[in-house]
């Protein structure tokens, strides 16, 4: 049975994307922007205590990251 996405703290989400090769580029108010070579658009992570599932899904699509890869990195962070 596939794992379910759940809201996470922005610091956890940041560790996941950094572990996948993203680099912090800038901070604009309450949003942090990350980029990676080969990724057309940057990933934006809001600094919320609970980042919602819709934002996580959008960032996964932007990054081209599969759910399996996300959960693998989540377990290792």
Residue 55 sits in a domain whose CATH number is 3.30.920.30
Q: Indicate whether 2 belongs to any domain.
A: no
Q: How many folded domains does the chain comprise?
A: 1
62 is a domain residue: yes
pLDDT in tens, 8-67: 999 999 999 999 999 999 999 999 999 999 999 999 999 999 999 999 999 999 999 999
Cα separation, 17 vs 29, in Å, equals 20
Q: Report if residue 5 sits inside a domain.
A: no
State pLDDT tens for residues 23-38: 999 999 999 999 999 9
Residues 34/43, Cβ–Cβ less than 8 Å: yes
* pTM, entire model: 0.92
**Residue 22 belongs to domain spanning:** 10-76
Q: Is residue 63 part of a domain?
A: yes
Measured distance CA(18)–CA(33) in Å, rounded: 11
Note whether residue 1 is domain-resident.
no
């Amino acid at each position: 049975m596939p794992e379910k996405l759940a809201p996470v703290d922005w610091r956890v989400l940041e560790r996941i994307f950094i572990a996948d090769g993203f680099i912090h580029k800038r901070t604009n108010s309450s949003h942090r922007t990350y980029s990676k070579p080969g990724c057309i658009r940057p990933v934006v992570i809001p600094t919320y205590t609970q980042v919602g599932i819709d934002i996580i899904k959008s960032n996964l699509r932007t990054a081209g990251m599969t759910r399996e890869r996300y959960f693998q990195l989540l377990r290792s962070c």
